[in-house]
Amino acid sequence: MDKLSLITRNVEEIVTLDELKELIESKKRLTAYVGYEPSGKIHMGHVLTVNKLLDLQNVGFEIIVLLADLHAYLNEKGELEEIHGMAKENKEAFVAMGLDPNKTTFVLGGSDEYNLSNKDGFQMTPEYQMLSHRLMSHITEQRAIRSMKMIARDPKNMKTSNVIYPVLQVADIVELGIDVAVGGMDQRKIHMLARDVMPKLGLRAPICIHIPILVGLDGTKMSSSKENYISVDDSREQVKQKISGAFCPKQVEDNPIVQLFRYHLFPRFSEVTIKRPDKFGGDLHYASYDSLERDFVSDTLHPLDLKNAAIEYVNDILDPVREVLI
């Protein structure tokens, strides 16, 4: 698979594709980043962005992972001591999921407590604070609030900290020297804010790669309150129970099991085998997601067989993570 195909697979949107093509054809050092609030459990929704970082790393990008401690604090995700402990676990999990520690820089924004990189605490410097003030002078209150609607912990009762949050995220992109910003579609409005405001300060806007938001195991929006997701530290038995009981209609749209194969399994395995007894036709072997999807929608592939295979492959992905977290 060529560089462009690898970068663009399984993405919802690229802003803009022409800029991306020009970038990867250049001879410059290439950087891509994603920011995670270190809060709560890491689940397969987070792993989706890790998969894209792996694609970018494999074509030569240097990866920066911002473990956004100050952002998590501003978004009411806990006290800083708790957040910092979670950040350390996050780093260990992301490396276990395949990110090369020698080609990935892990950054804390507000602290150097774990010495994750030489950029730790960059959000506390006078230069960063001045940059934030300059950005604020070009961003309206309404635009900042609108960009936080899908991210804020309580979007109906936003605090001043929520208004500051997107400004700091734009400042992160500037300060870290990012070429490509990666995130879910919930990050789109903040990324578009960066693309609008950075040129006003004479800065080059980032290219943005947006990953789709996947449904939870029950077929509804993935939510921590519903616990309708697979966590990276779930045991093998928990993964089996969750996938066995998951929603799996005879359709592709909003089917969480089919999504596991498309977005998580085929990007990591060159071939997927669906094991079946001989009386049901024997094993099926797939070298691509498209061929598996065709068999599923044509009833050649039964949902139970699909689930059983998903259990084995998801557990194979998560085994290295369990080793470092448990």
pLDDT tens digits, one per residue of 200-224:
999 999 999 999 999 999 999 887 7
Q: Are residue 136 and residue 245 in the same domain, yes or no?
A: no
How many structural domains compose the chain? 2
Q: Are residue 193 and residue 140 in the same domain, yes or no?
A: yes
**Model confidence pLDDT, tens digit, residues 286-308:** 999 999 999 999 999 999 999 99
What range does the domain containing 282 cover?
A: 236-325
Round to whole Å and give the CA distance between 181 and 210.
8
The answer to whether residue 218 sits within a structural domain is no
Round to whole Å and give the CA distance between 159 and 315.
40
Q: What is the pLDDT of residue 153?
A: 80
Q: Is the pLDDT of residue 256 over 70?
A: yes
Percent of the chain with pLDDT over 90: 76
**119 falls in which pLDDT band (50, 70, 90)?**
low
Q: Are residue 82 and residue 198 in the same domain, yes or no?
A: yes
Round to whole Å and give the CA distance between 135 and 155.
22
Q: Are residue 59 and residue 205 in the same domain, yes or no?
A: yes
Round to whole Å and give the CA distance between 159 and 291.
48
Q: Is the pLDDT of residue 114 over 90?
A: no
Highest mean pLDDT among 79-88, 115-124, 149-158: 79-88
Q: Are residue 148 and residue 280 in the same domain, yes or no?
A: no
Residue 106: name the closest of 81, 124, 129, 88 by CA.
Answer: 88
The answer to whether residue 274 sits within a structural domain is yes
Q: Two tokens at 308?
A: 């059983």
Q: What is the pLDDT of residue 120?
A: 61
Average pLDDT score, the chain: 92
Q: What is the pLDDT of residue 248?
A: 96
**CB-based contact 212:24 (threshold 8 Å):** no
Average pLDDT over residues 12-34: 95
Residues 6+ apart with CB under 8 A from 249: 219, 255
Q: What is the pLDDT of residue 150?
A: 84
